[in-house]
A = this chain, B = another copy of it.
Amino acid sequence: MTVTLRDIADEAGVSVMTVSNVMNGKSARVSAKTIERVRGIADRLGYVPNIAARSLAATRSHVIAALVPVGPDDDLLVSPHTVAVIGGIERHLRKHGYHVLLRGIEHEDEIAQAVRGWSLDGAILVEFDDAKIDRIRIDEVPLVAIDSYSANPRTVGVRTDDHRGGWLAGARLAEAGHRRLLFAGPARRASGVVAQRWDGFRSACVAAGIPAEHLVVEEALTTFQDGRELGQRLRDDHPDVTAVFATADILAVGLMAGIADAGGSVPGDLSVIGFDDLDVSGYTTPALTTIAQDMPAKVAEASRIILDEIERGEGPRVPVTLGVRLVERGSVAPPASRR
């Protein structure tokens, strides 16, 4: 049933190697006439190369893994942001003739297992904590880490300019006149991304003359629901705060809902600024003012880097940082006087 190189070779009266050469475009070794004949037969028979056989025999597998951290139990790739990344990567790599293995990683050891078990040509690590990236000891293939600030020389980081993003958020809120600010996000220590956003945010606030002790932090927040709960208890827990920088739009969206639950209004009582510029962020009430990442560029860069390294050997392994911009919508306003 399945058509192999040998079938084509027999029919064309040439050797298997010649067919292989034709199929791989090594035209130097084969005459134009032969190429044409072999191609024709292959098409007619409906030849499809066997990926497993090719990986086994060749030095390259044409398989690149997209690795995503997951919890041991039920987690998957929930965040809309993660998703867009995976989708974009799949498309880029497919266009270049590579296949994408999608794999949730519970423990870092599984990364090495995947690399070796599949003879991967490379792997893209999506949104792993820096600490995990730090621990990686894999030299045999290129590794691109999206949203990583790890200094591990075995990986190349591709990320947005989170520091500047944080700065823009802080500056925007300060400029609107806010003096008591809340920074809400995942744990800063685990994630370089969040640490950068915090640092940029803090710097902007300080530069605007806001004393450091006017900055409050709420950490370990990652979901819509976390944001909502924060919003509900915001007035009680932080009565002075007049503006919140949420380091992810899902958090910000949840937050706005929570504030509404508690009878507050945005931006009347509280200003909110997010980060990511998800699709949905333009559809809330009010629409969310946020820091936009250039997602398409991020996946394009990650794909380009890994393909370059695979096909042209060692690149310079220099991290890439992409621009951000403030998207002004309706969730930031000057502070009301609060009791």
A residues at B contact (CB < 8 Å): 1-2, 48-53, 55-56, 61, 66, 70, 74-78, 80, 83-84, 86-88, 90-91, 94, 99-104, 112-113, 116-119, 140, 224, 228, 250, 253-254, 256-257, 260, 279-280, 282-285, 287
Known A90-B104, A101-B102, A253-B283; 5 more pairs at CB < 8 Å: A51-B118, A76-B87, A76-B88, A224-B282, A228-B283
List, in ascending order, chain B residues with CB within 8 A of A75's CB: 91
Closest beta carbon of chain B to A63's beta carbon, Å: 9
A194 vs chain B, min Cβ distance (A): 21
A224 close to B283 (CB less than 8 A): yes
Closest chain-B Cβ to A229's Cβ sits at a distance in Å of: 12
Partner of A84, one of B78, B224, B282: B78
Min Cβ gap A137→B in Å is: 12
Instruction: State the CA gap A280–B223 with chains docked (Å).
Output: 11
> Which 10 interchain pairs have the tightest Cβ spacing?
A76-B87, A285-B285, A52-B55, A102-B102, A77-B87, A52-B52, A257-B283, A83-B83, A52-B56, A48-B116
Q: List 19 A-B contacts (CB under 8 A).
A: A50-B116, A53-B56, A76-B88, A76-B90, A78-B84, A78-B87, A90-B102, A90-B103, A91-B104, A94-B104, A99-B101, A99-B103, A100-B101, A224-B279, A250-B279, A253-B280, A257-B285, A257-B287, A284-B285
**CA–CA, A86 to B77, complex, Å?**
8
B-chain residues with CB within 8 Å of residue A84 when the two chains form the complex: 76, 78
Q: Which residues of B contact A260 (CB under 8 A)?
A: 285
Chain B residues closer than 8 Å to A55, beta-carbon distance: 52
Give the chain B neighbours of A254 by CB distance below 8 A. 283
Q: Are B61 and A52 within 8 A (Cβ)?
A: yes
Known A140-B1, A254-B283; judge A48-B104 contact (CB<8 A).
no
Residues of B within 8 A of A228 (CB): 283
CA distance A158 to B162 in the complex (A): 42
Contacts of A285 in B (CB 8 A): 257, 260, 284-285
Q: Is the CB of A103 within 8 A of B113?
A: no
Cβ of A174 to closest chain B Cβ, rounded Å = 27
Q: Which residue of chain B lies nearest to A254 when distances are taken between CB atoms in the complex?
A: B283
Q: Which B residues are CB-close (under 8 A) to A113?
A: 48
Q: How far is the CB of A133 from chain B (nearest CB, A)?
A: 21
Chain B residues closer than 8 Å to A87, beta-carbon distance: 76-78, 83
Which residue of chain B is the closest to A110 with respect to CB atoms? B94
B52 touches A102 (CB 8 A): no
Which residue from chain B places its CB closest to the CB of A54 in the assembled complex?
Answer: B52
